[in-house]
Amino acid sequence: MTTEQRVTEHQVPGSGPYAITTGPDGALWFTLVASGEIGRLVPGEAVATFAVAPDSGPTIIVPGPDGALWFTEYRSHRIGRISVAGEVTSHALSGECGPFGIVTGPDGALWFTGTATDTIGRITTDGTITEFPLPLTEAFPSAIVAGPDEALWFTMNRANAIGRIDLAGEVSVHELPTADAAPVGLCLGPDGALWFVEIAAGQIGRITVEGTITEFPLPDRGARPHAIIAGDEGLWFSEWGGNRIGTITTDGAIDGISLPTPDSEPHGLTVGPDGAIWVALEHGALARVAK
């Protein structure tokens, strides 16, 4: 199958598609970080957009435990919620924390990272917020996921480490073997380990719940991998600097596909309702990649 056959781009209104997820309604929901909007796409139908605020910077979006979508507002320091009907509400956070990653935790609350305040936050669906300080400063906690061990795992981009926080707020830190690797995206893999990308080192990393780390160099060390998700057997990741979508098996075999539009800036990706991989391209489109 050629690139043209595998990749289809769908232009979207608004500006700056950044993260994307499949919602509980079977639609694709995505953030428009530059125009302050949330988008919704059902494959084959027109795109709908919903305003948040022009300067809000909606960043990461995930399904919540309440049948809605929850997202971070990086620039306005808020956590947002949008119902599948498009009703938007948001909750102000303390200080200018720069929330980035967000995920539903094993306790039924949303957990998020405070990039500028070195905190991990927790917000219940009724808006009760708790924040836990990290034992490091200028760590820039970024992506966060629920692990297989009743805890949350997160990347610390500037601290060059992977963190774990339990439901009581206890934090442990695992330093990366490669210096200045700058981890960003993170996901739970099909093998029960946590997989992450090292944007500055051009590598994919794997960490077990016991803390054992393995790193896999990409063929293009300047590819700047950004986000990563689990597939049925392996993992998919975006190469922001390489203009590709990469794949890696759980034993470390790496492959990928180039995107047809130059400098499309691939960021977040998800398994779509149709089983294909959907990628947010910051230049203004969503790409569908057939497996």
Q: Cα–Cα distance between 136 and 171 in angstroms, integer?
A: 10
Residue 282 known to bind ligand: yes
Catalytic residues: 267
Distance CA 7, CA 288 (A): 6
d(CA 250, CA 204): 11
Tokens found for residue 139: 């760590």
Residue 154 near residue 163, CB atoms below 8 Å:
yes
The Cα 65–Cα 277 span in angstroms is 23
Q: Residue 261: name the closest of 2, 20, 3, 1 by CA.
A: 3
Rounded to 5°, angle at Cα 200 from 229 and 149: 40
- Consult the annotation and say whether 150 binds a ligand: no
Task: For residue 137, give the DSSP letter.
Answer: S
The tally of CA atoms less than 13 A away on the side-chain side of residue 262 is 0
**Is residue 91 part of an annotated ligand binding site?**
no
- Phi, psi values for residue 201, rounded to 5°: -100, -10
Per the annotation, binding residues are 226, 265, 282
Per the annotation, binding residues for substrate are 226
